[in-house]
Each structure stands twice: as C-alpha cells, then as structure tokens.
Chain A
Amino acid sequence: MRVSFLLLLLLLLFALSPGGAWGSQAADTHGSLQLVSEQQSIEPGHEFWIGLRFNLEKGWHIYWVNPGDSGEPPKVNWDLPAGFGAGDLQWPAPHRLEHPPLTDFGYEGEVLLLAPVHAPSQLLGRPPAQLAGGGGNATFAADVKWLVCRDICIPAHQRVTLSLAIRERAPKTDPNWRALFERSRSRLPQPAPVSWKSAVLAEGKDFVLSIESDASQAQATFFPLEPLQIENGAPQRVSAMPRGIRLTLEKSDQLLKPITNLRGVIVLGNGRAYVIDAPVFQNKRRTAS
C-alpha cells in the first residue's frame, strides 16, 4: 500500500517535471540541441549571431534546407523579446549522405545553423519588464522541430532558450563557441563573385553546368536548392576548365518540363561554397556531347 502510493507520487513528479513525460524534450533525439550565441552580451543597436547547435550521436544525421531524396529540414519558430528581429536561418554547405539508391543532403556530428539577430537601439532605457528575463538580460527562445535519422527516422521537438546580458559596450566573443561560429560561417554559401559566369546546357538526360571563374578548378560538388531538377544520387562528372569548372548533372526523372534556371550551391575543392543560379539553354544538336 505504502509502496504503491510512493510509486504514484514518483510517477506524478516525473510527469510534471520538465524533461519528464510532459516536458518539451523528446525521449531520445540521438543528440543534443542548444541555442548558443557568438557574443557574451548584447550591445543595443547592433547585430549579432546566434545559432542552433546540434551535436549528433555517431551514425545519426539531420537535413539541409533541401533534404534530397528523403527527410525534412529543421524548422524554427523564434520567440524573441520585443524589438529584436532574427534573420533567415543560414545553412552551412551540407554533405552528401548516400544510402543507395537514395541520396540525402545533411549533416552529421556537430552542426550550427546560424541566424543574425538585430538588437534594437533603445534597450537600456526601457523598463525591465519589457525585456523578457527582466533586469539587464534578454531571453531568446526557439521552438525547433527536426527529424533525426540513421536507418530509421525520429521526429523531435524542443524549446531551447538563451539569456544574454545587455551592456552598453562592445561585446566579447564567447570562447566556448568562437571556433564553431567561425568554422560554420566559413561553410556558408556566399554569393558567386560577379566576375563568374555560369550557364547550363540541357543535353538529353543531362544538365552541363559550366562556371567560368578566375582560376581552374578540379573539384566540386553541386547541391540543388530546388527539388526535382537533378537526380540527387547520380554521380557528378567534373572536368576542370582553364578558367573554371564544368559539371555534368543528371536530370531528375521527375522533371517533365524545361527549366529556365538551375539553382544550387557549389562546394569547391577548398571547401568554399557559392550560390549558383544559372540560366539553362536547350541544346537541340544531337551530336553535342
């Protein structure tokens, strides 16, 4: 009798505790999620970077903004103090996750999805009640839904929060996250340099993407930003050009109409990533290769 009462009490406590049965953290997401900031404090009127840091168990992965053949990218709903605004989530260049016959695009291990946040210029003068978290702090929250997969997939949902002090001086970089932010930012796709010329020739079952740049490139991987343009899993034939690079990409077998532009991210051999939006020309010559 006494034992069962204790058990009931324990069960109730468990159910009501954060992280328990009714908490926001899913049972097993095969990794952890944190909301982190590059800076240790907020300077009014300035922009700073925050990020969703996923640290995944070995063998598990999450997805890029275009997940490829299966899967789903993480989604975030920001809950920011009044006056703060978050920009779009920034996605570091992904990796090809190959499990034949399917190919997905995503991340393994540690990954940071970044977002710029703008702090309003009037902050310190406000009554503390307007700053969530009170006092000289601002509290940020993110409701994140994501899919984590290995051979099987698990939908996850978690609310993560971060509290930062507001200081009327230049903030210090958080030493815990400096390297992670730098590394992740270096993998963010940049706009292609204006001197580059890219164009696509549609030839039979292929798209031949040519990028004229300032130097010969020997290695590149193309990640489509639009679904149903190219076959995600097809090998990409790469050939160096005296100035630039050429990639032969197989058309998606679900592509029924000619497209006007091929959009994607190209990752070069040096790890730099660029956004490509190339006009597509139809080649009607049969002999062209």
Chain B
Amino acid sequence: MRQVMRRFLSLPLLTAILLLTLPAARAAQVGSPAPDFTVTDTNGKVHHLSEYKGKFVVLEWHNRECPYTRKHYASGNMERLQKEWTGKGVVWFTVISSAPGTQGYVTADDENAYVAKMNASPTAVLLDAEGSLGHLYGAKTTPHMFVINPEGVLIYNGAIDDKPTTEIADIPSAKNYVQAALEEAMAGQPVAAPTSRPYGCSVKYAH
C-alpha cells in the first residue's frame, strides 16, 4: 500500500502528460466540450447544440410541479435570470425530461401556455420525454443548471444557487452560481465555482 503511494518522481514526464490528456470517459465534464444534441422544442423546431457556437448556452432542467422549481418560478427568480441573460445574447434552453405519466410531463401546447402565463423567456423549451438529453448531461435534479461557453466548452454544472431549500425567503441572500458563471465568463475570467451539488427533486426519468 505504502509503496504504491510513494511518489514516482522518476516516471517519464510523457506518461504524466498522457494521463492528463486522456479523453474524459464521461459526458458533460466541466472543462471539456459539451456533448452535442439534437432536440425538438415546444414549437416543433429542432435544435442542435452545434448551431450555437459563438454564443453562451444555458441548460435549465425543469419540472414545474417540483417544489424546488416552484421556488424559483413563483418568486420570479428564474424568469428574471432568463430575461436578463437572453437580453444579453445568451441562448437559454429550459429542458423537460419528465417521462410520460410522471410529475412534470407536459405537452408542447400546455408548456407554451405555461411559459406565457409565467412571463418566462427561455429561448426555447426542449421536450426530452425519453430522457436522452438528461442522460447525456447527467442531469439529476430540477433545477439542475449547465452553462456552455461560445467555444462549446462546459463551464458550469450544478445548482442554481447555494441555498438548497424550497423557501422563497432564501433567494435574496443566496449566491446565484449561474449568474456568477455568466458574469465571470463574459468578463473573460475563469468561473470561480464551476461545479456545485445540484439540489432539488430527482429528474423523473422513465424506468
């Protein structure tokens, strides 16, 4: 055990470099290219991630009946973020991965009515009832947030903020990680908190 743990300083540098540059075995790793996808939105339009090179892209996993999602919609927090950042040229995709018959599953018309009612302004709502986009990114909770930079690299994977509760009263004092990641990246700075534990309800995948 100890022997194995001893540092092998004589190891050729090349091997170390090789190890560091091995391709990530798993998808949606911060610092790596975000996996491309093809998904249809609630208006029947097909989106490929690769079309949005040159723009920041936000993915927001959504289930309107989940109390954690409700916290950020009933308070207007999510709608405010969508409005602010789409106004600055960010592509914002709300993603619904609830399987048919599970909580949060919606039809396209129903979702369009909801977006209008909430005065929400995502670029589009992607319907992912079979869960393939969710599995591709490893989306765990609603909400679960991802930010992709204009080069197509994933720069944030985690929670919306640092207060993992269902209470609206916690929003004003919370640090919003998505806001911070977009501000930092747009200012040409590295993202200070590139990952966090996403919090919320489980994504209601098909079983």
Please determine whether chains A and B interact with each other in the same assembly.
yes
Known contacts A228-B195, A256-B194; is-contact A284 B66 (Cβ 8 Å):
no
Shortest distance in angstroms between B160's beta carbon and chain A's nearest beta carbon? Answer: 14
Give bound CA distance, A151 to B67, whole Å: 13
- B120 contacts the other chain (CB 8 A): no
Q: Which of B44-71 contact A (CB under 8 A)?
A: 65-68
Q: Is the interface of B mostly helix, strand, loop or mixed?
A: loop
Shortest distance in angstroms between B106's beta carbon and chain A's nearest beta carbon? Answer: 15
- A283 contacts the other chain (CB 8 A): yes
- B11 contacts the other chain (CB 8 A): yes
Asked whether B1 lies within 8 Å of A199 as measured between CB atoms, the reply is yes
Asked whether A102 lies within 8 Å of B140 as measured between CB atoms, the reply is yes
Residues of A within 8 A of B201 (CB): 70-71, 149, 152-153
Asked whether A210 lies within 8 Å of B1 as measured between CB atoms, the reply is yes
Residues of A within 8 A of B1 (CB): 199, 210, 212
Give bound CA distance, A154 to B68, whole Å: 10
Give bound CA distance, A285 to B4, whole Å: 9
Give bound CA distance, A254 to B19, whole Å: 18
Write the chain B residue with the least CB distance to A154. B67
Residues of A within 8 A of B28 (CB): 253
- B18 contacts the other chain (CB 8 A): yes
Shortest distance in angstroms between B117's beta carbon and chain A's nearest beta carbon? Answer: 22
Give bound CA distance, A269 to B75, whole Å: 47
Q: Which of B1-27 contact A (CB under 8 A)?
A: 1, 4-5, 7-8, 11, 15-16, 18-19, 22, 24-26
Give bound CA distance, A203 to B205, whole Å: 31
Give which listed residue, A100, A154, A284, contacts B19 with CB less than 8 A: A284
Asked whether B166 lies within 8 Å of A284 as measured between CB atoms, the reply is no
User: Could you mark each residue 269-289 of chain A with 1 if its beta carbon is under 8 Å from any beta carbon of chain B, else 0?
Assistant: 000000000000101111010
Shortest distance in angstroms between B170's beta carbon and chain A's nearest beta carbon? Answer: 11
Contacts A152-B103, A254-B196 aside, 12 further interface pairs with beta carbons under 8 A come to: A70-B199, A70-B201, A102-B203, A104-B202, A151-B204, A152-B201, A199-B1, A212-B1, A253-B28, A254-B195, A285-B8, A286-B19
Show the binding face of B for A, using Cβ within 8 Å. Answer: 1, 4-5, 7-8, 11, 15-16, 18-19, 22, 24-26, 28-31, 65-68, 102-103, 135, 138, 140-141, 157-158, 164-166, 194-197, 199-205, 207
Show the binding face of A for B, using Cβ within 8 Å. Answer: 69-72, 99-102, 104, 147, 149, 151-155, 199, 201, 204-205, 210, 212, 227-228, 253-256, 281, 283-286, 288
